Amino acid sequence: MIAILKKELWSYFGNWSAWVIIAAFSLIATLFLFFFDNDSNIFEIGMASLQSYFVLVPWLLMFIIPALSMKTFAEEQQTGTLNWLFSQPLKVSELVAGKFLSVWIVGILCLIPSLIYLYTVYVLGVPAGNIDLGMTFGSYFGLIILIAAFAAVGILASSLSQNQIMAYLLGVFMCFIMYFGIEQLASYKLLGGADFILQNIGFYQHFLGFTRGLIDFKDIAYFVLVIGASLVLSNHFINKKK
């Protein structure tokens, strides 16, 4: 697994793709938070808070993480190197875990530049330091778990696809449905009492608790279950390709 992790990280950072993705992610977030005229602009909100950042980032991750994960298995199959990996002395579960961890790590690195935003808001607060750090760090913790969930779903999409384009489109679609689609469907209240159950199937309600500074074991358990189920399914579909 460690060997696969190192190989994948080198494939991301060795050809500048990870650097470009991190830079693009940070640039888009900066433009929305400080320059564009929108509801996420921190100066227009007039509050010492990164709450708008934590609302914006899941939507960016919805497109960024599938871009990272699409190559994990779809590219290997497209180029014929998947059969070579099968011939190596490693388990499919180790292969899946190594690729998942690589996507998760690069996704977390996308958040590092946002510490500049945190420092900026901390300094600009009146008085300086007037920011809810509990809510802020809870939100960061939620984002790290959400990245893991998106990465696991993206890995699953890649294991189901024959090429990278299909893997990317399927990954974006699945992440969108899990984060926003299920939440919106539940909001129409078409199922009566079952709407609450449907609402809790999606990512949004569980991520929302973290953005309020509440680190609930039930929310953590939910994401662990989703990540585990996605990786188990990925392992199953890759095994079928042997």
- Tell me how far CA of residue 94 lies from CA of 60, 99, 114, in angstroms: 29, 9, 32
Question: 73-121: per-residue pLDDT in tens?
Answer: 888 888 878 888 888 888 899 999 999 999 999 999 999 999 998 888 8
Query: What pLDDT sits at residue 242?
Result: 74
Burial class, 210, CB count within 10 angstroms (exposed 0-12 / middle 13-18 / buried 19+): buried
Question: 164-173: per-residue pLDDT in tens?
Answer: 999 999 999 9
pLDDT above 90: residue 156: yes
Distance CA 115, CA 219 (A): 25
Of 127, 114, 134, the residue nearest 26 (C-alpha): 114
> What predicted TM-score, i.e. pTM, was given to this entire model?
0.92
Residues 6+ apart with CB under 8 A from 57: 29, 111, 114, 143
Query: What pLDDT sits at residue 184?
Result: 83
pLDDT above 80: residue 190: no
pLDDT above 70: residue 192: no
Query: What pLDDT sits at residue 182?
Result: 85
Count of residues in the chain: 242
Distance CA 199, CA 79 (A): 40
Distance CA 133, CA 156 (A): 35
CA end-to-end distance (rounded Å), the chain: 18
pLDDT above 90: residue 221: yes
